[in-house]
A and B are shown apart, each in its own frame.
Chain A
Amino acid sequence: MATQSIQPSQGVRKKVGLSEAAKRTERIAWLFLAPTIVVVLAVAAYPLFSTIYATFFEAKLGSAKAWEYVGISNYTRLLSNSGWWEAVWNTIRFTLGSVFFELVLGLGIAVVVNSKFPGRGLMRTSMLVPWAIPTAVSSQMWKWMYHDVFGVVNDFFTRIIPILPQKIAWVASDATALPALVAVDVWKTTPFMALLLLAGLQLIPADVYEAASVDGATGWRQFMTITLPLLRPAIVVALIFRTLDSLRVFDIIWIMTSGAFRTESMATFNQRQLIQFQKLGYGSTVSVAIFVVIGIFVVFYMTTIFKEEV
Chain B
Amino acid sequence: MVGGRRSTLMNVLFWVIVLFIILYTIFPFYWAIVSSLTPPSDLFNTPVHYFPEHPTVKAYGTVFRNETFRRALLNSAFVSITTVLISLVIGSFGAYALGRLKFRGRTLVLYTVLAMTMFPAIAILGSLFTMVRTLGIYNTPWALILTYMTFTLPFTVWVLTNFFQSLPLELEQAAYVDGATTLQTFYMILLPLTAPGLVTTGLLAFINAWNEFLYALTFTINDSARTAPVALALFSGEQQFEIPWADIMAAAVVVTVPLVILVLIFQRRLVEGLTAGAVKG
Contacts and interface: CB of A to CB of B under 8 A. Distances in A.
Nearest to A209: B2
Interface string A255-281: 100000000001100110011000010
A35 B2 contact: no
Contact of A51 (B2, B124, B149, B176): B124
A2 B186 CA distance: 14
Given A5-B176, A26-B102, 4 more contacts: A6-B179, A119-B18, A141-B32, A290-B122
Interface stretch (A77-85, A110-118, A170-178): A110-118
Contacts, number: 289
20 contacts: A29-B101, A32-B94, A44-B119, A108-B21, A112-B14, A115-B2, A125-B263, A125-B267, A132-B260, A133-B256, A141-B252, A199-B275, A209-B3, A234-B279, A266-B122, A270-B122, A274-B126, A280-B130, A284-B127, A287-B123
A109 B122 contact: no
Given A136-B213, A140-B232, A187-B25, A275 B218 contact: yes
A291 B127 contact: no
Interface residues of B, number: 102
A296 interface: no
Given A237-B279, A271-B218, A195 B102 contact: no
Identify which of A119, A149, A222, A255 gathers the most chain B CB atoms within 10 Å of its CB.
A255
Interface of B: 1-4, 10, 14, 17-18, 21-22, 24-26, 28-29, 31-32, 35, 43-48, 50, 90-91, 93-94, 96-98, 101-104, 106, 109, 112, 116, 118-131, 133, 146-147, 149-150, 153-154, 157, 173, 176-177, 179, 181-183, 186, 207, 210-211, 213-214, 217-218, 228-230, 232-233, 235, 245, 248-249, 252, 255-256, 259-260, 262-264, 267, 270-271, 274-275, 278-279, 281
Contacts of B217: 254
Contact of B93 (A35, A117, A222): A35
B279 A196 contact: yes
A149 to B, nearest CB: 7
A1 B259 CA distance: 45
The 8 nearest A-B residue pairs measured at CB: A36-B94, A136-B229, A47-B127, A199-B275, A47-B124, A32-B97, A155-B48, A134-B211
A238 interface: yes
A136 B278 CA distance: 24
Contact size range, A: 35 or more
Nearest to B106: A29
Interface stretch (A9-17, A92-100, A244-252): A244-252
Q: Is the interface of A mostly helix, strand, loop or mixed?
A: helix
B29 A129 contact: yes
Given A25-B103, A145-B28, A290-B123, A159 B93 contact: no
Contacts of A139: 233
Given A39-B149, A200-B279, A209-B2, A133 B259 contact: yes
Interface string A209-228: 10001000011001100010
Nearest to B259: A132
Contacts of B91: 36
B274 A117 contact: no
B134 to A, nearest CB: 10
A141 B17 CA distance: 24
Interface in A20-78: 22, 25-26, 28-30, 32-33, 35-37, 39-40, 43-44, 46-48, 50-51, 54, 61-62
Nearest to B271: A195
Contacts of A209: 2-3
A123 interface: yes
A137 interface: yes
A266 B80 CA distance: 27
